[in-house]
A = this chain, B = another copy of it.
Amino acid sequence: MADNVESGVLKEYEKLKNLFQDYTQINNTISILHNDQQISMSPGSAPDRAEQMGALSKIAHRLINAPEIKDLLEKVEAAPSESFSKEDQRNIKLMRKIVAEQNISEDLSTAISNICNEGWEKHTKLRDAGDWSQMKDWIQHSVDTMREVGRDKKERLGFASAYEALLDTFNTGMKAGHVAQELGKMEKSLPGLIREAAQKQKEEKPPVAFSGTFPKEQQEELCRRVLEAMGFDFNRGRLDFISGHPSSGGTSDDTRLTTFYDEKNFFKALIAAIHEGGHGIYNQTLPREWRYQPAGEPLGMDLHESQSRIMEVQAAMTPEFFEYLEIQARDIFNRPDDPALSAENMRKLRQTVAPSFIRVYADEITYSAHIILRHKLESALIEGTLTAEDLPQAWNDGMKNLLGITPPDHSQGCMQDVHWPSGAIGYFPAYTLGDMGAAQFFAAACKDRPEIRSELKTGNFKPLQEWLEENVHSKGSLLTTEEIFVQATGKKLGADDYLNHLSERYLGKPYTAPVSAPILPQQKTPEIN
Question: In the complex the two chains form, what is the Cα distance from A51 to B44 in whole Å?
Answer: 30
* Cβ contacts A300-343/B at 8 Å (1 or 0 each): 00000000000000000000000000000000000000000000
Flag if B32 contacts A36 (CB, 8 Å): yes
Question: In the complex the two chains form, what is the Cα distance from A451 to B252 in whole Å?
Answer: 56
When all copies of this chain in the complex are counted, the total is: 2
* Cβ contacts A247-291/B at 8 Å (1 or 0 each): 000011110000000000000000000000000000000000000
A49's nearest neighbour on chain B, judged by CB, is B254
Flag if A36 contacts B26 (CB, 8 Å): no
Determine if A22 is an interface residue (Cβ-Cβ < 8 Å).
Answer: yes
By a CB distance below 8 angstroms, the chain B residues around A236 are 42, 44-45, 48
Flag if B254 contacts A41 (CB, 8 Å): yes
Interface-lining segment among A7-15, A55-63, A186-194, A504-512:
A55-63
Determine if A184 is an interface residue (Cβ-Cβ < 8 Å).
Answer: no
Question: In the complex the two chains form, what is the Cα distance from A238 to B254 in whole Å?
Answer: 22
Residue among B21, B33, B44, B237 making CB contact with A233, cutoff 8 Å: B44
Interchain nearest-CB distance for A255 vs B (Å): 8
By a CB distance below 8 angstroms, the chain B residues around A47 are 253
Residue among B25, B39, B44 making CB contact with A52, cutoff 8 Å: B25
By a CB distance below 8 angstroms, the chain B residues around A140 are none
Residue among B22, B33, B59 making CB contact with A22, cutoff 8 Å: B59
Determine if A234 is an interface residue (Cβ-Cβ < 8 Å).
Answer: yes
Number of A positions contacting B (CB below 8 A)? 38
Interchain nearest-CB distance for A335 vs B (Å): 28
Determine if A235 is an interface residue (Cβ-Cβ < 8 Å).
Answer: yes
Flag if B33 contacts A254 (CB, 8 Å): no
Determine if A29 is an interface residue (Cβ-Cβ < 8 Å).
Answer: yes
Flag if A25 contacts B51 (CB, 8 Å): yes
By a CB distance below 8 angstroms, the chain B residues around A80 are none
- Known A-B contacts A22-B58, A59-B59; the reply to A48 vs B252 at CB < 8 A is yes
By a CB distance below 8 angstroms, the chain B residues around A29 are 29, 33, 52, 56
Flag if A21 contacts B55 (CB, 8 Å): yes
By a CB distance below 8 angstroms, the chain B residues around A254 are 41-42, 45, 48-49
Flag if B42 contacts A234 (CB, 8 Å): yes
Flag if A36 contacts B40 (CB, 8 Å): yes
Determine if A28 is an interface residue (Cβ-Cβ < 8 Å).
Answer: yes
Question: In the complex the two chains form, what is the Cα distance from A58 to B56 in whole Å?
Answer: 14
By a CB distance below 8 angstroms, the chain B residues around A45 are 236-237, 251, 253-254
Interchain nearest-CB distance for A37 vs B (Å): 10
Determine if A43 is an interface residue (Cβ-Cβ < 8 Å).
Answer: yes
Interchain nearest-CB distance for A306 vs B (Å): 25
Beyond the given pairs A40-B238, A48-B254, 9 more chain A to chain B contacts, judged by CB atoms under 8 angstroms and listed by A's residue number, are A22-B55, A22-B58, A22-B59, A29-B33, A32-B33, A32-B36, A32-B52, A36-B36, A45-B237
**5 A-B pairs (CB sep. < 8 Å):** A26-B59, A29-B52, A42-B237, A48-B251, A48-B254
